[in-house]
Amino acid sequence: MRFEFKTLKPAPHFAEIPAEKWSNWIWQMQQTLNTEADFSKVFELNEGERGGFGQGGKLFKVSATPYYSSLGASCQSIRRTLLPTGLEVKPGAQQMEDPLAEIVHSPTSRIIHRYSDRVLFLVTDTCSVYCRYCTRKRFTGQEEGLINRQDYQNALQYIRNHKGIREVILSGGDPLTLSNRILGQTLRDIRAIENIEIIRIGSKMPAVCPMRVDKELIATLKEYSPVYMMTHFSHPKELTKEAADALGLLVDHGIPIFNQTVLLNGINNHAAIIQALSRRLLYLRVKPYYIFQCDPSEGTDHLRTSIESSEKIVKELWGHLSGLAMPTLSLDIPSGGGKTTLVPNFLEKSSEGLREYRGWDGRRGIYKNPEGEEILPPDVGEYFEEWEVLKRAKTPCP
């Protein structure tokens, strides 16, 4: 079976909008829905959702483009990721303002440096949708907006001064909410730093506003290659014709795409949904990279799954899903330990030089080390020094 990606039908409220406006990303961003009144034009809000809006000043910002609102109105699962409910103020098992201790890992404003070779650079706090499960609620949608000149220069200087940093991950907020002019300038400044090999851009825009991916954006990204795109598709219903075209355009122009998904309770926490999402992404030449255990940020208890149920999903997929389509289950250790991967355990017995496994279909097997073979050092040559330099790099961890 091949997959069919269908053009999204705008919600009735947008029925009269001409196609050239609808397919223009700037129009989509300017027409973003923000208030209860805006959303009631597209959704028949239920009591829980009205209760969510009723939280007033405490409410984590709510926004969505006309395109994504229309998608939410046609799919209950997506609706739950973008509309607030009263459950967001219910006390939960773990409610952390800064679950990943990013504040203490921030040596200068807008930089998060947890791993020695790569940093996050929070270029804006604006997103095209405010996911109810966002891990960075303390920052996103707080209307700080663009970074100021001084913070921007300090961030670049920090990256320049730390030669161990090889990769910059543009994040936020959503870097693709920036204009091509500002995005291009940022990419140019980062590319000019000698120690930087890879630039990644984390963005939900291909899902929320796929019109953002146009020829002009592609030209901007190509100029600073290698640039990797990290998308955020959480449900197969997000893979419309528009989204498929956006992904195709990126890959056609040499921009590799990796997808990250958050496992969400009652939304995508089933092997059938994850396999559907993963196979369609792979067909569109996008590598399913991580599925994340939802972080315990404030107001997310009703959206988090249990660790055991997440592990069960991955174990079910094993053996039925191509390794290319298989995402890695990952949990960001609260309080800033970095990520840990949760891989199904096939080990049955272990002793010196011997391991016994039971595979995905129940078959057992033993692996033995070679007899009396000495483990020989290969000729490491010029790579020795490169590795030593990488190992010496430090993070500013407290």
Ligand X SMILES: *Cc1c(COP(=O)(O)O)cnc(C)c1O
Q: Cα separations (Å) of 136 from 4, 287, 361?
A: 34, 24, 40
> Is 358 designated active site?
no
CB 298 within 8 A of CB 335: no
CB 80 within 8 A of CB 266: yes
Q: Pick between residue 114 and residue 232 the one whose CB is nearest to ligand SF4.
A: 232
- Residue 134 CB, nearest approach to ligand SF4 (Å): 3
> Is 138 designated active site?
no
Q: Binding residues for ligand X, how many (CB under 6 A)?
A: 7
- Residue 78 CB, nearest approach to ligand SF4 (Å): 13
By beta carbon distance, the residue nearest ligand X is 114
- Segment 116 to 135, residues that bind ligand X, using CB under 6 A: 118, 120
Q: Applying CB under 6 A, does 96 fall inside the site for ligand X? A: no
Q: Which of 79, 290, 295, 304 is catalytic?
A: 295
Q: Which of 118, 279, 280, 304 is catalytic?
A: 118
d(CA 122, CA 116): 17
Q: Applying CB under 6 A, does 139 fall inside the site for ligand X? A: no
CB 209 within 8 A of CB 179: no
Q: Cα separations (Å) of 208 from 34, 36, 73, 135, 268?
A: 15, 19, 13, 18, 17
> Is 295 designated active site?
yes
Q: Applying CB under 6 A, does 140 fall inside the site for ligand SF4? A: yes
Q: Which stretch binds ligand SF4 (CB under 6 A): 24-32, 99-107, 128-136, 215-223?
A: 128-136
- Segment 205 to 234, residues that bind ligand SF4, using CB under 6 A: 232
CB 70 within 8 A of CB 211: no
Q: Which does 204 bind (CB under 5 to 8 A by kind): ligand X, ligand SF4, none?
A: ligand SF4
d(CA 244, CA 263): 22
- Residue 52 CB, nearest approach to ligand X (Å): 28
Q: Applying CB under 6 A, does 110 fall inside the site for ligand X? A: no
CB 196 within 8 A of CB 159: yes
d(CA 227, CA 320): 31
Work out which of 79, 80, 110, 114 binds ligand X, going by CB under 6 A.
114
Q: Which does 174 bind (CB under 5 to 8 A by kind): ligand X, ligand SF4, none?
A: ligand SF4
**Residue 385, token pair as written in the block:** 């020094």
Work out which of 14, 61, 95, 115 binds ligand X, going by CB under 6 A.
115
**Nearest 5 degrees, angle CA 255-CA 259-CA 263?**
170
Work out which of 43, 130, 158, 292 binds ligand SF4, going by CB under 6 A.
130
d(CA 98, CA 105): 11
Q: Cα separations (Å) of 332 from 33, 106, 255, 284, 325?
A: 31, 17, 26, 27, 21
Q: Which does 169 bind (CB under 5 to 8 A by kind): ligand X, ligand SF4, none?
A: ligand X
Work out which of 73, 131, 263, 321 binds ligand SF4, going by CB under 6 A.
131
Q: Does a cis peptide bond (omega within 30 degrees of 0) precede residue 226?
A: yes
Q: Pick between residue 81 and residue 240 the one whose CB is nearest to ligand SF4.
A: 81
CB 263 within 8 A of CB 294: yes
Q: Applying CB under 6 A, does 162 fall inside the site for ligand X? A: no
Work out which of 62, 123, 127, 169 binds ligand X, going by CB under 6 A.
169
Length of the chain: 398
- Residue 177 CB, nearest approach to ligand SF4 (Å): 9
Q: Which does 112 bind (CB under 5 to 8 A by kind): ligand X, ligand SF4, none?
A: ligand X
Residue ranges with strand state E in 293-387: 328-333, 338-341, 347-351, 354-358, 364-368
Q: Which amino acid is located at 180 in the chain?
A: N
**Nearest 5 degrees, angle CA 376-CA 380-CA 383?**
155
> Is 339 designated active site?
yes
Q: Pick between residue 112 and residue 178 the one whose CB is nearest to ligand X.
A: 112
Q: Applying CB under 6 A, does 134 fall inside the site for ligand SF4? A: yes
The residue ranges that bind ligand SF4 (CB under 6 A) are: 127, 130-131, 134, 136, 140, 174, 204, 232
The residue ranges that bind ligand X (CB under 6 A) are: 112, 114-115, 118, 120, 169, 339
